[in-house]
Amino acid sequence: MIRVRVPATSANMGSGFDSLGIALTLYNYVSIEKISGPTEIKIMGEGEDFLPGDESNLIYKCVRKVFEKCGKEPGGIRLVMENNIPVTRGLGSSSASIVGGFFAANALLGEPFSKEELLSMAVEIEGHGDNATPAIFGGFCVNVPTKNKINYISSPIKDNLKFATFIPDFFLQTKKSRAALPEKVLHKDAVFNVGRSALLTASIISGKYENIRVAMGDKLHQDYRKRFIPGMSEIFDLCYNNKALGVYLSGAGPTIIGIIDGNDNSFSMKVEAVLNKKMKNWQLTVLSADNEGAVVLGGF
């Protein structure tokens, strides 16, 4: 049996729409083995009540794709998913499924594909690589897809940054959240984001974290999505009032992430007191960056 671990990911990071993302220390696990009978799919944890347990399952479809690209039929397989990443919340659960399926099948077949090839295949499905790149390579990632290639950089993040992850009890489909975005934007809004996403990348890689707040400013997506996320402004204010270095909508939402100083031990206590009093439908989990990305934990 092969077991793969894939991290949650958080895309956009404010200004870097479809381009920036980070891997976080929250994981899904995919186990796979060949069996002689018909395919068996078992889902445990997040999504176990509603994710399909038949051959329309996204992970299964990705396993199949890898086999077919090698000119093979998967035959009967047993797939077990242990899900800790909340589904449809802006934490890259779809990417984790795609990458988990690809890595598991690739390992079972003796690794015919490189990580870069698996990334291209994942971007082909998702249409953008801001979750898939960190899910595969870990750390803070920049990605720009061109015709036959995903151009990317993955840079490890020190533990002096933590990611205060605010997850609400409601879902937001990426499709619905993307449909709220305008087809055209003003030149000045594009310029606003270009400078900031460059500043954010340089700030995170150089460790000049004092720039993060400005660098997370965005005019391309967050405001358009706010109407789907009751409590978004309050969470932003709550984070900034408690010394967050920056706050942004994670991916297409509805999760919100406050970046905090890794040595700040009072943030969680103060913020949780407010959530318990006024915003009980938001749950706070403080995560670190995952710098490994997807890993095959071994065949056994």
Residues found near ligand HSE in the complex (CB under 6 A): 11-12, 17-18, 128, 130-131, 174, 177-178, 221, 251-252
Tokens of 236: 């932003």
Sign of CA dihedral 224, 228, 229, 234: positive
Three-state SS for 235?
helix
The nearer residue to ligand HSE, 93 or 203, going by C-beta atoms, is 93
Specify which residues 90 forms β-bridges with. Answer: none
The Cα–Cα gap between 25 and 8 comes to 7
Least Cβ distance, residue 44 to ligand HSE (angstroms):
24
The nearer residue to ligand HSE, 18 or 46, going by C-beta atoms, is 18
The nearer residue to ligand HSE, 74 or 253, going by C-beta atoms, is 253
**Half-sphere exposure of residue 152: CA atoms within 13 angstroms, side-chain side:** 32
Least Cβ distance, residue 11 to ligand HSE (angstroms):
4
Residues in the chain: 300
Least Cβ distance, residue 84 to ligand HSE (angstroms):
19
Least Cβ distance, residue 19 to ligand HSE (angstroms):
8
Least Cβ distance, residue 127 to ligand HSE (angstroms):
8
Least Cβ distance, residue 248 to ligand HSE (angstroms):
11
Which has the closest alpha carbon to 44: 8, 76, 10, 79? 79
Angle formed at CA 245 by CA 160 and CA 239, multiple of 5 degrees: 115
The Cα–Cα gap between 29 and 235 comes to 30
The nearer residue to ligand HSE, 17 or 60, going by C-beta atoms, is 17
Specify which residues 246 forms β-bridges with. Answer: 259
The nearer residue to ligand HSE, 162 or 221, going by C-beta atoms, is 221
The Cα–Cα gap between 222 and 216 comes to 11
135 — phi, psi (to 5°)? -60, -35
| 141 residue type, one letter | C
The nearer residue to ligand HSE, 18 or 77, going by C-beta atoms, is 18
Residue 10, sorted as left (phi over 0), alpha (psi -120 to 50) or beta, turns out to be beta
Least Cβ distance, residue 178 to ligand HSE (angstroms):
5
Specify which residues 167 forms β-bridges with. Answer: 283
Least Cβ distance, residue 250 to ligand HSE (angstroms):
9
The nearer residue to ligand HSE, 212 or 252, going by C-beta atoms, is 252
The nearer residue to ligand HSE, 175 or 280, going by C-beta atoms, is 175
DSSP 86: P
Three-state SS for 263?
coil
